[in-house]
Amino acid sequence: MLERVKGPEDLAGLDTAELTALAAEIRGFLIEKVCAVGGHLGVNLGVVELTIALHRAFRSPHDVLLFDTGHQSYVHKILTGRGAGFDVLRRNGGLSGYPSRSESAHDWIENSHASTALSYADGLAKAFQLRGELSDGSGDPARRHIVPVIGDGAMTGGLAWEGLNNLAGAADRPVVIVLNDNGRAYAPTIGGIATHLGGLRAEPRAQHLFTDLGLAYVGPVDGHDIAATEQALRAAAALGKPALVHVLTTKGRGFEPAECDEADRMHAVGVVDPHTGAPIKPPKKSWTEVFGEQMSAIGAERSDVVCVSAAMVLPVGLGEFARRFPERVFDVGIAEQHAVCSSAGLAAGGLHPVVCVYSTFLNRAFDQVVMDVALHKAGVTFVLDRAGVTGPDGASHHGMWDSAILSVVPGLRLAAPRDPARLAELLREAVAVDDAPTVIRFPKAVAGPDIEAHTRMNGVDILYRAAGRPLDVLIVAAGVTASTCLAAAEELDRLGIGTTVVDPRWILPVNPHLTHLADRHRLVVTVEDSVRSAGMGTALAQACADAESTTPVRVMGLPQEFLAAGGREEILEGAGMGVGDVVATVVDGLQAGPRIALEAVPELLEIPEVSQVAETAQIPGTAPISDVTQPPGTTTQLPETTQLITTVRTTNGEARQARSSPRH
């Protein structure tokens, strides 16, 4: 049947038996392809029949189908001719895991964050009405229907209710809202809306809020019955007024491992066995798992520490904490704004809340971070999973903006651990702050080995100092970029360039000691896995300027553009963040920058040690920065070339050439 369906128009002539066979083939296709490459499985298995019915009842793309959230659009992609792309799903140059306007005219929006579709639908309805194109219930084929498909989990988000409020109040703008009710976001849906929908399933004729708001209500209907669902959709479209079709589906339907998964019905998977659902390879410990272990330990140490999640208790690593301290975990639904504001209230009540979200999801609550937490000097800790480049989820999920956005928040402190030991250390330092917001960021990646410091100077970890060489370049590494910076330092040492690599641990605001270290070097290069503008590097450059330091600062980071999906290392290399790029940036900067004699730099002022930070032992044989000497007026000799080509080893061991250029 899949061979016969090249587009939505091919569904029209199929009878009931053929539609049933098609649904079974699609479900088998999803299990085979998604288990092979990873992606959102359970949620798409649950919308097979619903999506077929949608494409039979409406004429996409003339009629507008909006999927909220976009991870439930896989069947839509198959029915609109993109099935061949599932072999490279969520890979560089491959099929997006969410709706993508560049892929197909059938995708109107690229919404991978929840609770947005009703607002999009409201705007489109207003636009189509003004242009005389909106459907009016007359059956005129020239007019267009707008059909947002929203999951019950997404209805826990405040934005969904803002959109619903406007849609329900416009009786002359018919929009068909499809409520896909499977009782879950990741875990079971929580709150009053979940209770209300449960009541409607039990007693469809009961008075309910949708009709009270002014919407026509159709349902509940079995979302796995194609004919019944199609009939309900057509009936709603003929009403000529805003209507809600309540569709009941089962997440993970047709795949026993998913149906038996109580955690999240195999919502999203990596590469797994298509028969058992078990991972093909034993997974290595992730940053999320390390955080979960440390958070659970802190919970045992401090009864005032509580955790807040926006419908993602398990994905953000709070499973063990929730098992041990269920009364101290608050899942507020897909409602980041509420999560942050509620946490300010928790802090005001004498507790220390830890808000655990994906990095890009905190963007939605920036106003609350500023006005409800920072302004009130509330002791709230934010833990940002999936910071930096995330990989296969693509542009909407790369946590590229948190450093830049949060850098303007008064009093906020932002930390980036380079390894598991530093995550444990920094998390404890963060929850010890009770009069300001603190933030910990880490990537979606395997947690690598610990990188021990040679010494700690006023809160800054010295990771590398080239023995016997002058102070040519200070490389400031943010979090997990430390391993790249250390590999670059070794290559620079082979080139005769004296390198110091430091990890400030708390990357914002700038530790004053960094400006003094900058003064001791000829060049500063900062490396961070977030956008270059307004992050750690920009802040350090400004701090150096304010301190009247003459040392130039070069900032390396992600470009200010939306990055596509792909492997994490692949994306970082493509964005100019590899070992060779750091080497080239240093060489460029030294060739272009001033030659400053060491003795011309003022003596370092003593800076009080950061409280509660223990010094680490000096490694024997490593010259501390204060002991390095060089003859007055001398500098490191660089090759007499305008470009330097070197062979370096990348973090995965592959040899590549790096050519110096003014790219940073």
Single-letter code of the amino acid located at 520? R
DSSP labels for 481-531?
GHHHHHHHHHHHHHTT--EEEEE-SEEESPPHHHHHHHHTSSEEEEEEEEE
Taking the C-alpha atoms of residue 271 and residue 257, their distance in angstroms, rounded to an integer, is 14
In which residue are the tokens 């999320």 written?
288
**Catalytic annotation, pick one of 110, 230, 336, 429:** 336
Task: Locate 221 and state its tokens.
Answer: 């209907």
Distance between CA atoms of residues 131 and 124, nearest Å: 11
The terminus-to-terminus CA distance of the chain in angstroms comes to 53
Strand partners, 66: 148
Distance CA 534, CA 402 (A): 10
In what helix (H) or strand (E) does residue 461 lie, and over which residues does it extend?
Answer: strand 460-465
Give the whole-angstrom CA distance, residue 473 versus residue 498: 6
> Pairing state of beta strands 438-441 and 413-415?
parallel
Residue 421 to residues 287, 451, 453, 454, Cα–Cα distance (Å): 11, 8, 11, 15
Q: Is 77 considered catalytic here? A: no
| 578 backbone dihedrals φ, ψ, rounded to 5° | -85, 175
For residue 173, indicate whether it is catalytic.
Answer: no
The helix (H) or strand (E) run that includes residue 109 is none
- Residue 646 near residue 580 (C-beta atoms within 8 A): yes
Residue 82, token pair as written in the block = 């993109």
Report yes or no: 533 and 542 within 8 Å, Cβ to Cβ.
no
Virtual CA dihedral for 576, 578, 581, 587, nearest 10 degrees? 150
Task: Tokens 């409020």: give the residue.
Answer: 165
Q: How many CB atoms lie within 10 A of CB 292?
A: 20
| Catalytic residue chosen out of the listed positions 82, 91, 173, 364 | 364
- Tokens standing for 119? 């607002």
* Burial category of 640 from C-beta neighbours within 10 Å (exposed 0-12, middle 13-18, buried 19 and up): exposed
In sequence order, what are the beta bridge partners of 358?
A: 385
What Rg, from alpha-carbon coordinates, does the chain have? 28
| Side-chain half-sphere exposure of 71, counting CA atoms within 13 A | 27
Output the CA angle 406-409-413, nearest 5 degrees. 70
Phi-psi region of 576 (alpha: psi -120 to 50; beta: other; left: phi over 0): left
Distance CA 651, CA 478 (A): 16
Note if 364 is an active site residue: yes
Secondary structure (DSSP) of 389-401: --STT-TTT-B-S
Q: Beta-carbon neighbour count of residue 9 at 10 Å?
A: 11
Choosing from 144, 251, 328, 532, the catalytic residue is: 251
- Which of the residues are catalytic? 251, 336, 364
